[in-house]
Amino acid sequence: MKKIINGFNNVLFDDSSEYKFDQLHETKFLSEVFTSLSQLMKDEFNDYLFFILSSHDRNIIPSSAKFKTEKQKIIIVLSDESGTVPEYLSPHYYAIFKAYMQPDKILDNNIFNFSLGCVKSVPELPITPINDRDYSVFFIGNLNNSRIKFYFSLISTIIPCNWSFLNNLSRIKKLILPIKSKFDNRFPNSYIRFTNGFMHGITPIEYGQIIANSKIVLCPKGFVSSECFRHYEAMRAGCVIISEKLPETHFYQGSPIIQVNSWKEGLKRATYLLNNPKELEKLNKLTRDWWNERCSEVATAQYMQSCIYQLQAVKC
């Protein structure tokens, strides 16, 4: 087990992880979460031993499960987008926090959802008033199987056609994507583009600059999960977010994120909002408030503290 965050002897990286800690997108977010959590819990913070595990294996047995310590063990599980609940790990830890889980109501009462956070290389920039931003609608991302309907919703408004014969991703990428990967003209002053890979097309710095200068951000589903870093980066920037349905968890239930059943509906909502600047301003404020109170580093630390204290009350 390796100490990974300067100043914290009780935060370790699990040896069963698939990546090194400095390879994770979440390192900056996690470091700030633990800084806030230590400030909130004060001396009590050192009563716990925290482990971070990054693995795509939904059935993994972390090395820390057998780690002997007098402290209460808490693990944060990242990277597994399957949505599964690690009930089999419940007896090995005081608390388990896992990203990408679907429900909040979990039978094992020591398992909790966890925030995805923001990619470390995407900068946080000063907030620009939403109606002063240069880009109306923003999306850039890989074309994968989950985004075929999103792609067709965009292209059908430009080239009306029955695209059902192109129901194969490799066929689409071979025949259509080379011809039509940019949809900037779908909305005035917009940036909507498909790429051939994660974090391709523009640099993380350029991505951060554009997202901070965008009114509306479209968040289609990723390879597996409807949750993605884009939601958090857009929230942090105060963008209005239009998304596919998200799990009803602490981080999304009741949020100002506009969740749609189809991208035909989503694109209509974008058009409506661009014609209603007052509504954009209202959603901008609600989104910033939601980020600060529910999803930011400080809010995530407060949530973790609340979950830990909830367990203390049950076990007393």
Q: Which domains does the chain have, with CATH numbers?
A: 2-114 (no CATH), 130-294 (3.40.50.2000)
Summarize pLDDT for 267-285 with one digit per residue, the tens. Answer: 999 999 999 999 999 999 9
Spatial CB neighbours of 75, under 8 Å, sequence gap ≥ 6: 14, 50, 51, 52, 53, 62, 64, 89, 93, 95, 96, 97
SS3 194: strand
Summarize pLDDT for 176-196 with one digit per residue, the tens. Answer: 655 567 899 999 999 999 887
pLDDT mean across residues, the chain: 91
Q: What is the largest CA-CA distance in the chain?
A: 66
Q: Is the pLDDT of residue 173 over 70?
A: no
> Quick check: 10 and 48 in contact, CB under 8 A?
yes
CA distance 142 to 4: 31
Average pLDDT value for residue range 26-45: 97
Average pLDDT value for residue range 203-213: 97
Q: Is the pLDDT of residue 134 over 90?
A: yes
CA distance 200 to 141: 8
Ranges 102-116, 154-168, 211-225, most confident: 211-225
SS3 182: strand
SS3 158: coil
Summarize pLDDT for 40-67 with one digit per residue, the tens. Answer: 999 999 999 999 999 999 999 999 999 9
Q: What is the pLDDT of residue 162?
A: 55
Q: In what order do the strands lie in the sheet with 48-54?
A: 2-3, 11-13, 48-54, 72-78, 95-99, 111-114
CA distance 251 to 119: 17
